[in-house]
Structure 1
């Protein structure tokens, strides 16, 4: 190593050790004070980064979790969040959820959580290197296709959906809720993706660059989590402010989402026991709530009734998602590889891999789906008022069935999913 490189490395090390974020006393949440985001400038000046961790843990799935000072999280690098005061104590959720006796994530089960005043962050999250697969609109059909990570021309990754949602009405909604089954769909290729999620959206594809989203759910995409168990589902958050073009990202891969929880890992794995065979005995569930809180002008995410963090409305610079949205949706999605030379459909599964007609406990579902109107009051939608959509696929690939009243305390719900090309009737 040359003398200049050695000097730079030593200087880098000194900066990290001497950082006020790395060595300061963590704040107590019992007596929270105004803690402002503080952008950490380390040795890598080419990409926003978190402050150095105060503690690190190895999880049994092979991933490392770093406990980063809450004020030094990557959100501090967003221009709209300079000196942003972190909401340390989340508002009470609009929808009450029963507390779980066991945490849904491996990190919290094995290590409890990070020290107060810090947040858990996946180390070297590969999602930093990958754009959202829905990178551009398909040339036909009004749907989505995305380039591969390495080659923007071929092959494409068409998206197929089994979703339901409420009518598109300007300024009509301010939140969404549902209880998810957590499944582990098998994939035809490790670079493909399968998920279950909630969308809260504003703007429109008809007005280029306006579509803005708040998205959350669980996702299986092994290429992005190479150290995890095969097909393990992961918690994810996502946002965009310009139709998936230049703004937004998954999880904490770029400045935007502000995390408050010290036990939930954004992008972290759920246990692998959430498989179809084991779900025959008992389905594993997590409740998701996204709601706008006028008092702090943030879109909050609650998991099992616990405030995890939020999307500040200020990151939506185009004027959308400023307190209301024009659409909410729930359902499943897959992103699959389709080369022009391939005529058979991918065998990537959606949900549990079972079709909706299999019902409980085999088919994946979201239950107790509800939405918040512009005032923040939650309502249960009637299935007759919900759209049923299957984009880019026929029901022999993936399907959805929306129902109400057939299960005690399930409210409005839907089963969704399918086995893709593993079903002989599934063709392009």
Structure 2
């Protein structure tokens, strides 16, 4: 039989054991939570420039390469070793793997099949790699030339650029994003040196000097850039310039600039899901949802395709007074580059080749045209039809035209039809 002292000490010992067990439990829970944080924390990735023995700016060697059924090759390049690492402003740049700004919440096209064959046939590159369209090293690195602007003398050039576009008014520091759903068409071009495109522009600086800075994205049929790769199909493209198309900037991932993070979209890749005028007569359509939004947390302009974050243009690419959070001009529409001919206009068509009055489904279009303003930072507003109508720029309406409209189709918001047959129309004359 235990003594009185022993019996009194039992509860005290029990309390000590319970306290010890509780302490151990808290330590285990804390340790588990810490390990979970370590497991979910994403390691920082930094751009790291790779050079060969010629000291040329280039992507790091690919880990895998894929042959796509359209004849193109796609190389999977380490995300840290992409060519953007060679830009002086991006030395040791920490890659932003996801945006802090979401895309505009509207009807998404993401549920449709991916518009590029690489993703359909191969799924994408492994995690930590981005797909890079393999280019013929002997093909010229072609550049864009002139943005749409008010009528005036054009610079001397081997090609003539014609437009059917619409704009928001110039307003200093007013805009922080732009968006539209583009019909993807298969325009016929007269030869491999001409192109036809549909795109949006985000513009800052001045048209009058080398301060002009742009962000551009859309699709383009340009067989001179895509030999042996579904030459006459529309291709996704991005473009930028920080000095009025003078030295800086380039198409796609051909020079240091745009930083890609997504592993299934091929910048510069063909978009075989497009519709010709003949298919449009049968009611077939193809579209792509493009949004570009400024992320004020990371100081970059994010590109979203069908609601997926693809990559971004760092504000550091541009002079400190331009495209650092704001833009002063937005444009949407079509452009062709055609060879000069004093007697007959090129037969390169814009859009589907149908004129805007043909309407849906024959005419090319951009719908749900929206923009982000600097004050609210949101893009759930339709672009102002009055402004877009007043801001229309047509180089020659008898060749290529545009017509802004509103609310004639459910869920289309603000939209326009654009395009035309070029020299296939007897009223469209030569280009002196």
Interval of TM-score (by shorter of Structure 1 and Structure 2): 0.7 to 0.9
Measured in 2, the distance between the counterparts of 1:177 and 1:126 equals 34
Contact 1:125 1:253 in 2 (8 A): no
Match of 1:351 in 2: 351
Helix, strand or coil for the counterpart of 2:57? coil
CA separation of 1:163 and 1:125: change in aligned 2, threshold 3 A: farther
CA distance in 2, matches of 1:224, 1:312: 26
SS of the residue 1:110 aligns to? helix
Farther off after superposition, 323-332 or 81-90? 81-90
SS in 1 for 2:304: strand
User: Aligned runs of 1:29-428 on 2, under 5 Å?
Assistant: 32-45=42-55, 47-96=56-105, 97-98=107-108, 99-124=110-135, 129-134=140-145, 141-142=151-152, 144-145=154-155, 147=157, 156-206=158-208, 208-271=209-272, 273-280=274-281, 281-339=283-341, 342-375=342-375, 376-378=377-379, 379-386=381-388, 387-393=390-396, 395-428=397-430
State how far apart, in whole Å, the 2-side matches of 1:111 and 1:324 are: 38
Deviation of 1:273 after TM superposition, in Å, equals 4.6
Q: SS of the residue aligned with 1:75?
A: helix
SS in 1 for 2:51: coil
Cα 1:135–1:48 change in 2 (3 A) is farther
- Contact kept, 8 Å, 2:365 with 2:415, in 1: the verdict is yes
1:102-122 deviation line (CA, Å, top 9, x unaligned):
101111111110001000001
Query: SS state of the match for residue 385, structure 1?
Result: helix
Segments of structure 1 that go 5 or more residues without pairing to the other structure are 1-28, 148-155
Alpha carbons of structure 1 residues 143 and 294: separation in structure 2 relative to 1, 3 Å: farther
For residue 229 of structure 2, give the secondary structure of its aligned residue in structure 1: coil
Pairwise CA distance, 1:189: 1.4
Q: CA deviation digits over 1:263-320, x for unaligned, max 9? A: 0000000015522222332311110001101010000000000000000000103520
Q: Return the offset for 1:41.
A: 1.6
- Structure 1 residue ranges (4+ consecutive) displaced by more than 4 angstroms after TM superposition: 125-128, 135-138, 143-146
Corresponding residue SS for 2:224 = helix
The separation in 2 between residues aligned to 1:101 and 1:31, in whole angstroms, is: 32
Q: How many residue pairs align between the two structures?
A: 386
1:219 alignment partner, SS class: strand
| CA shift for structure 1 position 128 | 7.4
Deviation per CA, 1:312-367: give whole Å up to 9, x if none.
0001035200100001110000010115xx42100000001111011111110000
1:63 deviates by 0.7
CA drift at 1:92 = 4.7
Q: TM-score, normalised by structure 2?
A: 0.85
Q: Which structure is larger by alpha-carbon Rg, 1 or 2?
A: 2
Question: 1:209: how far off?
Answer: 1.1
Aligned mates of 1:128, 1:35 — CA distance in 2: 32
TM-score, L = length of structure 1: 0.86
- From the superposition, tell whether residues 143 and 414 of structure 1 become closer, same or farther in structure 2 (CA, over 3 Å): farther
Q: Is the 8 A contact 2:47 2:85 kept in 1?
A: yes
Larger deviation, residues 251-260 vs 224-233:
224-233
Judged with a 3 Å threshold, the aligned counterparts in structure 2 of structure 1 residues 170 and 188 are, in CA distance, closer, same or farther, namely: same
Secondary structure of 1:310's aligned partner? strand
Shift of 1:141: 4.6
Runs of at least 5 residues in structure 2 that lack an aligned partner in the other structure:
1-38
Does the 8 A contact of 1:351 with 1:363 survive in 2? yes
The 1:265–1:185 alpha-carbon spacing in structure 2 relative to 1, beyond 3 Å, is same
Q: SS at 1:80's partner residue?
A: helix
Deviation at 1:418, TM superposition (A): 0.3
Task: Give the secondary structure class of the aligned counterpart of 2:417.
Answer: strand
